């Protein structure tokens, strides 16, 4: 196969002005949020000296993100999605601006301002994220959805690799307040970018508008019962529960690899490196025919990588398997994005994407708790091997029992009737 056919397909950027705006705005936003992800926990720890207080800020943010995701998904299917995107990005300007101003107080910055800004950014930022997920597939042709998913994954990986390091440099040079100010400025740039999008009205449902509760039930029912979307959610849950080794990396490094903080940091960068490689070499995804089968194989690959990580007695091997894990994760993300968006009618995309995002929000935390609870019983290495084996077994079980996903392909015609799976 020619190298050019492996490289990431940039067709959606060339062919769609709206997708170029979304791609650019999301890249800028990812960098801004990466800067803040360093500043927020660092500031809370400096003020309180407590890791528990840092955890409570994360927990408050997670709850607000979950609430914002569900509310935003409903609103994205009932009105102008562009307005929600602008509201989400503009709220970030206010939130990070307040955090920057809080650092200028003559005495100690107020902790309640940090909590309020974190919760507000999580809530309103989720509006933007879900509305953008619902609108973006309409900017490209259905057969370009894998390429669009790969490009969106690419800018997320670039941000996750570079933004935290740059955020740390920014804090070291000019302080936490400067970090927040830059993040607010970047949020203002993204607000101006998404303002240039056309009005993005959700397709109107036929008949009288149902209640909000009925709308939520309709979205959840479609997501759970669809022969492709339902198994996608189940497969994602398996992966998030058992193939999330980050929580065990410090203990595994200490007790198995015999390394210190430097090695922990290196191992944490490995999945992002693998994901970046996977994004850059994703040109094949748009030409794949058995998308569902490849997705199942990618999740099984993630499980095998986690299992092999647990069996690794040597740091370079552990690093290599974490790179492989990141590669499998981004391939799964690209294929899942294409399948999910192509099988979901436009008028349901806000709610279905909200279900997926809510599952991911809860699943990541639950997965960390699952492997964390196993570690005291069987050790970090044993927990990793058990999690990897369960992921492979779960993927195999989904493949055997869910023919719709196993044979699923990206639809080249947009689905019209949500009642037909």
| Domain identity same for 122 and 232 | no
| Domain identity same for 169 and 223 | no
| Domain identity same for 339 and 265 | yes
| Domain identity same for 376 and 266 | yes
- Provide the terminal-to-terminal Cα distance of the chain, rounded to the nearest Å: 36
Integer Cα distance of 243 and 305 in angstroms: 9
Tokens of 286: 């748009």
| Domain identity same for 172 and 228 | no
- Residue 90 pLDDT > 50: yes
Lowest mean pLDDT across 206-220, 267-281, 309-323, 376-390: 206-220
| Domain identity same for 63 and 124 | yes
| Domain identity same for 232 and 324 | yes
| Domain identity same for 159 and 279 | no
Question: Which CATH number does the domain housing residue 177 bear?
Answer: 1.20.1250.20
| Domain identity same for 153 and 233 | no
The whole domain housing 79 covers: 13-203
The last residue of one of the domains, among 148, 182, 203, is 203
CA Rg value for the chain: 21
- Residue 4 pLDDT > 80: no
Q: Answer whether residue 332 is part of any domain.
A: yes
Q: Answer whether residue 245 is part of any domain.
A: yes
Total domain count for the chain? 2
- Residue 66 pLDDT > 70: yes
- Residue 22 pLDDT > 90: no
Q: Answer whether residue 8 is part of any domain.
A: no
The last residue of one of the domains, among 149, 170, 203, is 203
Q: How confident is the model at residue 97 (pLDDT cuts 50, 70, 90)?
A: very high
- Residue 419 pLDDT > 60: no
Instruction: State mean pLDDT over 182-195.
Output: 92
Instruction: State mean pLDDT over 154-162.
Output: 73
- Residue 205 pLDDT > 70: no
DSSP states of 62-76 as a string?
HHHHHHHHHHHHHHH
| Domain identity same for 185 and 237 | no
Q: Answer whether residue 308 is part of any domain.
A: yes
> Exposure string (b/e) for 363-401, b if CB count within 10 Å is 16 or more?
bbbebbebbeebbeeebbbebbbbbbbbbbebbeebbee
Provide the CB-side half-sphere exposure for 239 (13 A, CA).
28
Q: Say what the pLDDT of residue 420 is.
A: 42
Lowest mean pLDDT across 162-171, 223-232, 307-316: 162-171
Integer Cα distance of 236 and 361 in angstroms: 12
The last residue of one of the domains, among 203, 235, 259, is 203
Integer Cα distance of 150 and 9 in angstroms: 8
Q: Answer whether residue 366 is part of any domain.
A: yes
Largest CA distance in the chain: 65
| Domain identity same for 115 and 215 | no
Lowest mean pLDDT across 128-132, 163-167, 292-296, 325-329: 163-167
Q: Answer whether residue 7 is part of any domain.
A: no
Residue with more model confidence, 306 or 8: 306
| Domain identity same for 146 and 250 | no
Percent of the chain with pLDDT over 90: 21
Q: What is the mean pLDDT of the chain?
A: 83
The candidate with the shortest Cα–Cα distance to 410, out of 295, 331, 247, is: 295
């Amino acid at each position: 196969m020619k190298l050019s056919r492996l490289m990431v397909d940039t067709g959606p950027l060339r062919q769609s002005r709206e997708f170029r705006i979304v791609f650019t705005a999301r890249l800028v936003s990812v960098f801004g949020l990466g800067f803040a992800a360093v500043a927020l926990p660092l500031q809370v720890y400096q003020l309180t000296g407590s890791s528990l207080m840092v955890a409570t800020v994360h927990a408050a943010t997670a709850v607000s993100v979950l609430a914002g995701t569900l509310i935003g998904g409903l609103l994205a299917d009932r009105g102008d999605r562009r307005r929600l995107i602008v509201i989400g990005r503009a709220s970030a300007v206010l939130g990070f601006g307040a955090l920057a101003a809080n650092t200028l107080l003559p005495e100690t910055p107020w902790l309640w301002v940090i909590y309020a800004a974190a919760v507000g950014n999580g809530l309103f930022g989720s509006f933007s994220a879900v509305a953008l997920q619902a609108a973006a597939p309409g900017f490209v042709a259905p057969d370009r959805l894998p390429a669009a998913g790969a490009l969106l994954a690419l800018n997320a990986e670039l941000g996750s690799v570079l933004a935290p390091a740059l955020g740390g440099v920014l804090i070291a040079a000019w302080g936490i307040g400067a970090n927040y100010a830059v993040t607010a400025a970047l949020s203002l740039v993204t607000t101006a970018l998404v303002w240039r999008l056309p009005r993005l009205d959700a397709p109107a449902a036929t008949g009288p508008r149902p209640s909000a509760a009925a709308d939520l039930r309709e979205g959840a029912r479609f997501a759970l019962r669809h022969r492709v979307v339902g198994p996608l959610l189940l497969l994602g849950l398996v992966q998030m529960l058992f193939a999330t080794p980050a929580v065990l990396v410090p203990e595994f490094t200490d007790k198995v690899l015999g390394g210190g903080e430097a090695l922990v940091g290196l191992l944490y960068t490995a999945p992002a490196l693998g994901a970046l490689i996977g994004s850059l070499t994703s040109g094949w995804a748009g030409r794949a025919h058995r998308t569902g089968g490849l997705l199942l194989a990618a999740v099984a690959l993630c499980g095998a990588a986690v299992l092999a990580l647990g069996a690794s007695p040597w740091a370079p091997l552990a690093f290599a398997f974490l790179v492989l894990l990141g590669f499998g994760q981004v391939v799964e993300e690209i294929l899942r994005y294409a399948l999910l968006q192509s099988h979901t009618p436009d008028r349901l995309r806000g709610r279905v994407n909200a279900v997926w995002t809510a599952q991911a929000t809860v699943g990541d935390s639950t997965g960390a708790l699952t492997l964390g609870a196993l570690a005291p019983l069987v050790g970090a290495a044993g927990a990793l091997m058990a999690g990897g084996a369960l992921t492979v077994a779960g993927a195999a079980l989904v493949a055997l029992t869910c023919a719709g996903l196993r044979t699923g392909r990206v639809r080249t015609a947009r689905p019209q009737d949500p009642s037909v799976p």
